[in-house]
Amino acid sequence: MPKVTLPQEFDRLQELIARHQDGVGIDALMQRLGAGISRRTLQRRLALLVQQARIQSSGVGRALRYRCAPRVVAAEPGHNVQSNLSIYGEVYVPLSPEGEEVKAYVRQPRQLRQPVGYRQEFLEHYQPNLTAYLPQVLRDQLHALGRSPAGQAAAGTFARDILQRLLIDLSWASSQLEGNTYSRLDTERLIAFGQAAEGKDALETQMILNHKGAIEYLVHDSEHAGLSADTIIALHAFLSDGLMADPTACGRIRSRAVEIGGSVYMPVALPQRLLELFGIVIAMAAEIIDPFEQAFFLMVHLPYLQPFEDVNKRVSRVAVNIPFIRHNLCPLSFIDVPQQAYVDAMLGVYELNRVELLRDVFVWAYERSCQQYVAVKQNLAPPDTFRLRYRQALSAVVAAIVRSGESADDATVRARMPAAVAQADRDHFVALVLAEFKTLHAGNAVRFGIGPLEFAAWQERRRDG
């Protein structure tokens, strides 16, 4: 499976290929590179270089040869790397040979693919902690990549430390996989300042804010980072809010049949069977000890079951972070994941019950997420222990002041002071609450359980007062 590879290793391989104007085969490359690299690893690196248009391949089987791509005129300033790659070839992730097989099948026209229904044996053949979609060597590699400075701290500590970055990255990347056109900068402005981007559909704005609410739900309360049916249903309630054709379907297991656009797969239609299978999937996932195996199991089986009328993949992309939050591992943000690679991978699960392509996407996406958070890990500021100690009291006071329509001033805060705040800490606590009110807006008030309408009503009262 894909591993983190230093850029200079790709440069060395490209340089070696450049020495052969007529092209070179993989056997010759293996001889020149020596025993330090396996054939499979070399195949992955060559595939990535081809996808990046740095080299070209021709022929098949033993006649397959690689040569350097012709030089091209540099792109105009401001073009990003992904756009440049799209000019010369499809942007994808490095694939294993098995992943290539799945991709080849799902890329066939829909009419050439065999219609299939839900196969319960796909689930039944999985035995938690005995079956493994991710081999042990790969799990070891992912554990080494995802280790955080908060490894031995209370559950959720690392996610809280990097929450602002996680909110932006995961909300943007997951929404982008659904076709959302918000840029990362637009997403940051919406999440940090409550500023909706001009010219965007209101549903796109809602999708971003729904992700924010779902992520905060998991991170702010470590109890929510436990895997249960209630947690998954709550995530659907957050993520589908305002986006369902039938509002009553929000946060509810579906009671009607659904179809998958572009796929020949037909999910379970019978409500009673669906409810039973949903319980089995969650119970099996909860038994899995390894956090990476547990995350990947959710990424496979939640969308495959399609327990909700819509928003199933979004639920799975947020839910995969439950074990990472609980174990203080680097989260999976799906940053830079090519949409087509993700779609192909899910089709492979739906129509073939094969996980290899999705596994390639998962591993690449996790490595990419870890790279994004390296600097964050290295520059984490020490946590505000005072704020952590009085987090619940802080939330209670802020929410109470807003809901009662009172002014956020020294006297009001002291009148609302919980008995749990020590006498010696009261001045500091008042300052903390007043500082929160200075930055409070409709977009971040949800942290204290305050809805946008409640916040707007409080603002109106303060203006009238």
The pLDDT tens digits for 205-214 are 999 999 999 9
pLDDT in tens, 10-26: 778 888 888 777 788 88
- pLDDT at 445 (0 to 100): 85
pLDDT (mean) for 139-149: 89
| pLDDT at position 88 | 40
- Token code pair at residue 64: 């397959």
The full length of the chain comes to 465
302 in Cβ contact with 276 (< 8 Å): no
Can you tell me the mean pLDDT for 126-134?
96
How many Å apart are CA 72 and CA 76, to the nearest integer? 12
DSSP state of 329: B
* Whether pLDDT at 336 is above 90: yes
Given a cut of 60, is residue 327 above it in pLDDT?
yes
- Alpha-carbon gap, residue 415 to 404, rounded angstroms: 13
* pLDDT band of 148, cuts 50, 70, 90: confident
Q: For the chain, what is the mean pLDDT?
A: 87
Percent over 70 (pLDDT), the chain: 90
- Cβ neighbour number for residue 20 with a 10 Å cutoff: 16
Q: CA-to-CA distance for 430 and 401, rounded, in angstroms?
A: 13
Give the chain's radius of gyration (CA, Å): 25
pLDDT in tens, 24-67: 888 888 888 877 788 888 888 888 888 777 788 877 666 788 88
Given this model, what pLDDT does residue 378 score?
A: 55
Q: Which of 12-21, 298-307, 360-369, 407-416 has the least mean pLDDT?
A: 12-21
pLDDT in tens, 425-456: 999 999 999 999 998 888 888 888 888 888 88
74 pLDDT higher than 70 = no
Count the neighbouring beta carbons within 10 Å of the beta carbon of residue 25.
14
* pLDDT per residue as tens digits for the range 266-277: 999 999 999 999
Neighbouring CB atoms inside 10 A of 89's CB total 13
Q: Which two tokens stand for residue 372?
A: 């994004």
pLDDT the model gives residue 83: 35
**pLDDT exceeds cutoff 50 at 84:** no
Q: Which is more confidently placed, 27 or 88? A: 27
**Rounded distance between C-alpha atoms, residue 217 and residue 225, angstroms:** 9
CB 361 within 8 A of CB 342: yes
pTM for the whole structure:
0.65
Per-residue pLDDT tens digits for 397-432: 999 999 999 999 999 999 999 999 999 999 999 999
Q: Are 49 and 13 in contact, with CB atoms under 8 Å apart? A: yes
Structure-model confidence comparison of residues 127 and 60, the more confident one = 127
Q: What is the pLDDT of residues 183-240, one digit of tens each?
A: 999 999 999 999 999 999 999 999 999 999 999 999 987 777 789 999 999 999 999 9
Rounded CA-CA distance 46/324 in Å is: 31
Helix (H) or strand (E) holding 58: strand 55-58
Question: CB of 43 within 8 A of CB of 27?
Answer: no
Please count the CA atoms within 13 angstroms of the CA of 179 that sit on its side-chain side. 4
- Rounded to the nearest angstrom, the gap between the alpha carbon of residue 109 and the centroid of all alpha carbons in its chain is 29
- DSSP category for residue 206: H
Alpha-carbon span 425 to 433, nearest angstrom:
12
Task: Output the 3-class SS for 157-199.
Answer: HHHHHCHHHHHHHHHHHHHHCCCCCCCHHHHHHHHHHCCCCCC
Residue that is written with structure tokens 């998954």 in the block? 232
Residue 72, pLDDT > 50, answer: no
314 pLDDT higher than 80: yes
Spatial neighbors of 270 by CB under 8 A, at least 6 apart, are none
Sign of the C-alpha dihedral computed for residues 186, 187, 189 and 190 taken in this order: positive
Could you count the other beta carbons within 10 Å of the beta carbon of residue 148? 22
